[in-house]
Amino acid sequence: MKSLLVQKFGGSSVADAECMRRVANRIRQDKDDGNDIVVVVSAMGKTTDRLIALAREVHADPDDREYDQLLATGEQISISILAMALHHLGVEAVSMTGPQAGIRTDGSHTRAKITGIDPVRVRENLDRGRVVIVAGFQGLNPIADVATLGRGGSDLTAVAMAAALKADRCQIFTDVDGVYTADPRVVPSARKLEVIAFDEMLELASLGAKVLQSRSVEFAKKHGVELEVLTSFERKPGTLVKEASDMEDVLVRGVAADKNQAKVTLRGVKDTPGVAAHLFKAVAEAGVNVDVIVQNISEEGETDISFTVPRDDLNDVRKCLQSIENVEFREDLYDDTIAKVTLVGVGMRSHTGVASSMFEALAERNINIQMISTSEIRVSVVIDEESANIACQALHTAFGLDQAPDS
Ligand code: ADP
Ligand code: ASP
Ligand code: MG
């Protein structure tokens, strides 16, 4: 049966000319099977990292507009090279930048949100039997400047394009063959999952599993986009991400570690009504997302407050606390050697005891827990970064996620 497929190829899948030729071949096969195909590509290999380093060589804090202008070029190289590789195989294909494909964003450079897609040109070209190749990670903002969607943003381009075109499926091709119970590069006994619930994938993605960008999962759930993660290196089924309603509830589906975290501690905070409100309002106004928060029991009118923030935002928080009004404290401490390790599973909704078994497994490895946070379907702990990989492996085994040794 003829389907409309949106296929996204990540940086490692299009790293060099040979990879491009392989991807082009795979697209040709799906096209020859009678499918309509829109391709979304990332920048080749580590291009985006290299562009960021280049910008920093000339300015420590580059202008956001120019930064986006620069970063968007990475994906533009990929689209034209892939179009040429398809032409070489005799496949009709046309490349489009995000703006040419009708992708509109809001005004926030470097982490813009997609506000709408008007895919007229994409449709026209599909109707002419062409493969349309769209640059991931970019769109046009309200003042007609190019804006980028945040790291890993090509996943979001693909999902949003699939929703706008009402595609039959959005396929995310990457360098692993699906979503695993843990990062297979950290936990060698991790198992590939056939299916995972949107809510579970969302927690894993926002808590460190970079196999899918978390906003793309959120978007797919909201718009009912059928999402599949699979390898671009072989033809075999990957992992389907879908609603949990028709899935078996498992207690723990997976483990994730987020090492891009830092902890801020304020010692001797004057414990008066409104102090937390002032503190977190100021941090929010600095554009920083706070995650786990712990406040100690107050003694003699003073308390300690600790919270976690993305590591890249630590300097912004430091600046913000140096000039904060209405919050008095004795000392501010910053620790950028922590990690957050999380267990996720929809089955936790109806079972108890996951947290205590988790703490026990960590205690057995002598891993000290600094902070704890839970939701309906996850338990997270903040620990020393050095212990993060051991913690993932220990929890993976303790919750029976290891694959059978002979499989
Ligand atoms: P791409 O360049 O294709 O976007 P990414 O590097 O963004 O690829 O994501 C793929 C990587 O995600 C894998 O190489 C793997 O190391 C990592 N990863 C982390 N957690 C998981 C997980 N639970 N399942 C699969 N891969 C994971
Ligand atoms: N090239 C961008 C990045 O490296 C977007 C993406 O790959 O999804 O973050
Ligand atoms: Mg990615």
* Residue found under tokens 């950290």: 186
Q: SS3 helix, strand, coil % of the chain, rounded to 5?
A: 35, 25, 35
CA–CA dist 320, 334 (Å, integer): 13
Helix residue spans in 115-234 (DSSP H): 120-127, 154-165, 198-206, 214-223
Q: What are phi and psi of 105, to 5 degrees?
A: -130, 175
Query: Which ligand has its closest atom nearest to the C-alpha of 229?
Result: 1
Q: How far is the CA of 179 from the centre of ligand 1 (A)?
A: 8
pLDDT in tens, the chain (407 residues): 789 999 999 999 999 999 999 999 999 999 999 999 999 999 999 999 999 999 999 998 899 999 999 999 999 999 999 999 999 999 999 999 999 999 999 999 998 999 999 999 999 999 999 999 999 999 999 999 999 999 999 999 999 999 999 999 999 999 999 999 999 999 999 999 999 999 999 999 999 899 999 999 999 999 999 999 999 999 999 999 998 877 777 889 999 999 999 999 999 999 889 999 999 999 999 889 999 999 988 888 899 999 999 998 898 999 999 999 889 999 999 999 999 999 999 989 888 899 999 999 999 999 999 999 999 999 999 999 999 999 999 999 999 999 876 64
Q: How far apart are CA 398 and CA 256, in angstroms?
A: 15
Q: What pLDDT does residue 198 have? A: 95
Structural domain harbouring 140: 4-175
The CATH number linked to 143 is 3.40.1160.10
Give the DSSP letter of residue 362. H
Domain count, the chain: 1
How confident is the model at residue 239, as a pLDDT? 97
Residue 125 falls within a domain, yes or no?
yes
* Domain annotation covers residue 205: no
Nearest CA to ligand 2 atom 8: 152
Contact 98, 154 (CB under 8 A): no
Q: Is residue 269 part of a domain?
A: no
**Helix runs in 106-213, H state only:** 120-127, 154-165, 198-206
Report if residue 68 sits inside a domain: yes
pLDDT of residue 300: 85
SS3 of 174, please? Answer: strand
Predicted local confidence at residue 350, as pLDDT: 86
- Whether 135 is covered by a domain: the verdict is yes
378 in a structural domain: no
Q: Is residue 141 part of a domain?
A: yes
Q: Whose CA is nearest to atom 11 of ligand 1?
A: 211
Does residue 336 sit in helix, strand or coil? strand
Residues with CB under 5 A from ligand 3 (ion): 10, 152
Give the 3-state secondary structure of residue 1. coil
Contact 262, 334 (CB under 8 A): yes
For residue 9, report the distance from its CA to the centre of ligand 3, in Å. 9
Pocket of ligand 1 (CB under 6 A): 10-13, 42, 152, 174-176, 179-180, 182-185, 204, 209-211, 254
Q: Atom of ligand 1 at shortest distance to CA of 254? A: 23
**Paired residues of 147 in beta bridges:** 139
pLDDT of residue 174: 96
Ligand nearest to the CA of 153: 2
